[in-house]
Chain A
Amino acid sequence: MVKFIDRMFPKESPLDLMILHGEKIEEAVRFLKPAFDKFFDGTLPLDYSEKVDKLEKEADNIKYRIREVYSKLKYTYFEKSDIFMIVHEMDKIIDTIDDILKLLLMNRVENLDDLKELLEELTENVVLTVEEMVDALKELKLVVESDFAPKEVEKEKAEAEEVEKEETKTDVNTVTLGKYLFSKKYEINPVDLIFFMELSKLLSKIANYAENVVERINLIIR
């Protein structure tokens, strides 16, 4: 009988696991701002990257647990493929954070205060986008608990809109940053220019992945 009950329900709720996965990402993304500060001070330590590496491993472990829950035939609210797609996009976020922190360890720059401000603004909006995405995941749990109550579905849609707004802001930040960089093309070292363009692209990608997550959530609750 125990085995029967065991088989009837998975040990862990996939949505709880997704929220846990999201919280790992949230923890990781919050390293970006201090990392940029230290980078511009020239004191970026290795341990930020190491901490994110650890979080990445923990997130991977959660991802396997989600896959395990769905490994057998289940009766579920949501299509398996949708959940896997969401988790895959979330995974890309933490991978990209790790890439950024590693990239920051590779180069050192001096006297770029204007650029620092622009990057700070972009980073702040990226962090906000990810935080809103995690809120949307938490709201999804409420949508399910309320048996898709229209009030909660509306709240989830509003969360998705917030993420989209934040993502749009990061797009604007990226363009501004790009314009600034190209306006200084005769002053900045070309290698540094490529370096910052790469950083800007990676930051922008984080916001895009977060937007993909909420867009898919928005689709599956309809």
Chain B
Amino acid sequence: MLILLILTTILGFAMAFSIGANDVANSMATAVGAKAITPKQAAFIAMFLEFAGALMFGAHVSKTIVKGIVKPDFIDKPEYFLYGALSALLASTIWILVATHWSMPISTTHSIVGGMMGFGIVAFGLKSINWLTFLHIAVSWVISPFFGGLLSYITFKTISSLILHANSPWKSAKRYAPLLISIAIFVMFFLFFKKTLKMSLSISALYGFLIGAIGFIITFFSIKRMKNTDEYESVENVFKKAQIFTSCYVSFSHGANDVANAAGPIAAVFIILETSTIPKEVEIPSLILMIGGIGISMGVLFMGYKVMRTVGESITYLTNTRGFAVDFSTATTVLLASVLGMPISTTHVVVGSVTGVGLARGVETVNVGVLKNVVLSWIVTVPFTAGLSALLFLVFKSILNIA
């Protein structure tokens, strides 16, 4: 039992580490690229916020991963579920590592969902899979990049029409930027109070509004003190500062959303080992979310810096107004999905948001070919991890002689 506990923890930690190492570019890429923060600062900020997001927001999605795909009623043998969760975790970790080696933009969320499905089908049959839940999750994969894209399109067009198209973009930025930034603050805190502190809708909205108003005042006076050197450059400078906030927002929401991919299966194994049953209601212990959060943070700290530096050198012309639109849309979509319990892919939302800004004529040039790779990864990831997880489960079953 102790060996299984250690093995599960190591596997879960390894998966969380790879999530942190690879996905950190999602949250901080635009800010580092737009020179709002240095790669080192980005890595440290991301490390703390990914952990905070994982710990505070992570639980809901984890529950979906654990009990949502395989119907608990069909799980008659807890040990099957135990080795199945391990198979899913191992299959996902292998797939993430392989994909990282090939530099494929895969989704860690898709991997674990596929892994859970694979062993579920082999262990308990096709009927054991909650196809409605899967459909719900799969639809969210398609909807989320569209939503991210739509939101970034609207955000950028709003910035464009209110500020960039004005006679004096700088004067308009002074007028409207505090409003746009305070909206971002409101959304983040509203969702934070609603989800983490479990406050009512109206109270969450009220507190969110109050903090947004404080944000408005701070931003208003900060911008007032800024000097206008060049109309567009000054506008970009305003959003450069705002981008530090929005990228933190993405980092936080990424931790909240993606910790589930590692924490979910660990939780499943821990609960089964402890109780020998699959409970109807699964509560993800904070300790497990912490393990996932630390794993992601360590991935960010030890490998994220290198990723950030490369990203910083790669994206040299994604300006701050565009970066703000991408970050705000990504974070809002991911955090909203987190609240709704939808295990979506942050990578796909980033792609959706960037495409949205691109369609709004925000970025000079975007490689559309990459989008094909993303679609390909959608198609490949779930069957691959499902197949590998099923195979690993059968191997475990035969080696350990599980009846």
Confirm or deny: B389 has a beta carbon within 8 angstroms of a beta carbon on chain A. no
* Interface check B361, CB cutoff 8 A: yes
Say which residue of B104, B358, B364, B369 sits within 8 Å of A144 (CB atoms). Answer: B364
Q: Which residue of chain B lies nearest to A11 when distances are taken between CB atoms in the complex?
A: B314
Q: B25 and A2: CB pair below 8 A? A: yes
Q: How many A-B residue pairs have CB under 8 A?
A: 114
Interface residue? B12 (CB, 8 A): no
List the A side residues contacting B363 at CB < 8 Å: 9, 75
B347: contacting residue among A4, A73, A77, CB under 8 A = A4
Residue contact B316 to A11, C-beta cutoff 8 Å: yes
Segment at the A interface, from B86-94, B113-121, B161-169, B185-193: B161-169
Q: Which of B150-186 contact A (CB under 8 A)?
A: 156, 160, 164-167, 169
Q: Which residue of the partner chain A has the closest CB to B319? A: A145
Q: Are B317 and A13 in contact (CB under 8 A)?
A: yes
Select from chain A the residue with minimum beta-carbon distance to B232.
Answer: A145
Cβ contact within 8 Å between A3 and B103:
yes
Q: In the bound complex, how far is the Cα of B27 from the Cα of A34, in angstroms?
A: 54
Given A2-B314, A145-B319; A10-B365 close (CB under 8 Å): yes
Q: Does A147 contact B (CB under 8 A)?
A: yes
* CA–CA, A144 and B165, complex, Å: 11
Q: How far is the CA of A146 from the CA of B24 in the complex (A)?
A: 30
Question: Are B351 and A8 interface neighbours, CB within 8 A?
Answer: yes
Q: Are A13 and B316 in contact (CB under 8 A)?
A: yes
Residues of A near B8 (CB, < 8 A) are none
In A1-28, the 8 Å CB interface with B consists of 1-16
Please measure, in the bound complex, the distance between the C-alpha atom of A3 and the C-alpha atom of B29, giving whole angstroms: 12
Q: In the complex, what residues of B have CB within 8 A of residue A70's CB?
A: 365
Docked pose: A74 CA to B368 CA in angstroms: 5
Contact B232 A146 (CB under 8 A): yes
A6: chain B residues within 8 A (beta carbon): 310, 314
Instruction: Return B315 CB to nearest CB of chain A, in Å.
Output: 5
Interface size of B in residues (CB-CB distance below 8 Å): 47
Task: State in angstroms the CA–CA spacing of A147 and B162 once bound together.
Answer: 12
CB within 8 Å for A147 and B165 given contacts A4-B370, A8-B351: yes
- Interface residues as binary, A142-186 with B (CB distance below 8 Å gives 1, 0 otherwise): 101111111100000000000000000000000000000000000
State whether the Cβ of B200 lies closer than 8 Å to any Cβ in chain A: no
- Contact A7-B317, Cβ < 8 Å, known A1-B307, A142-B232, A146-B232: no
Tell whether, in the assembled complex, residue A4 and residue B365 are in contact, meaning their CB atoms are under 8 Å apart: no
| Beta-carbon nearest neighbor of B99 in chain A | A1
Question: Chain A contacts of B104 at CB under 8 A?
Answer: 4
- B362 lies within 8 A of A147 (CB): yes
A202 within 8 A of B: no
Q: What chain B residues lie within 8 Å of A111 (beta carbons)?
A: none
Given A9-B363, A144-B364, A146-B169, the answer on whether A1 and B314 have CB atoms closer than 8 Å is no
Contact string against B for A residues 78-95, beta-carbon threshold 8 Å, 1 for contact and 0 otherwise: 000000000000000000
Q: Is B366 close to A, CB under 8 A?
A: yes
Nearest-neighbour CB distance to chain A for B397, whole angstroms, equals 34
Is B364 touching A76 in the complex (CB atoms < 8 A)? yes
Expressed in whole angstroms, the minimum distance between the Cβ of A125 and any Cβ of chain B is 30
B367 at the interface (CB under 8 A from A): yes
Q: A2-B310, A7-B370, A142-B232 are in contact. Are A12 and B103 (CB under 8 A)?
A: no
Q: Among A7, A142, A150, which residue has its beta carbon within 8 angstroms of that of B367? A: A7
Chain B residues near A76 (CB-CB < 8 A): 364-366
Contact A4 B307, beta carbon cutoff 8 Å: no
CB distance from B28 to the nearest CB of A (A): 11
**A149 in contact with B307 given A4-B105, A74-B368 (CB within 8 Å):** no
A147 CA to B360 CA in the complex, in Å?
Answer: 9
B349 to chain A, nearest CB (A): 13
* B373 interfacial by beta-carbon distance below 8 Å: yes
Per-residue interface assignment for chain A, residues 58 to 75, with 1 indicating a CB less than 8 Å from any chain B CB and 0 otherwise: 000000000001101111
Tell me the bound Cα distance from A14 to B318 in angstroms.
Answer: 13
Q: Which residues between 364 and 388 of chain B lie within 8 Å of chain A, taking CB atoms?
A: 364-370, 373
Are A8 and B370 neighbours in the complex by a CB distance under 8 Å? yes
Q: What are 16 A-B interface contacts by the 8 Å CB criterion?
A: A2-B25, A2-B311, A5-B314, A7-B370, A8-B354, A10-B367, A11-B313, A13-B316, A13-B317, A72-B367, A72-B369, A75-B359, A75-B367, A76-B365, A76-B366, A151-B167
Q: Told that A8-B366, A73-B367, A146-B169 touch, could you supply 5 new A-B pairs with CB distance under 8 A?
A: A4-B104, A4-B370, A7-B373, A13-B316, A147-B165
Binding site for A on B (CB under 8 A): 22-26, 29, 33, 100, 103-105, 156, 160, 164-167, 169, 232, 307, 310-311, 313-319, 347, 351, 354-355, 358-370, 373
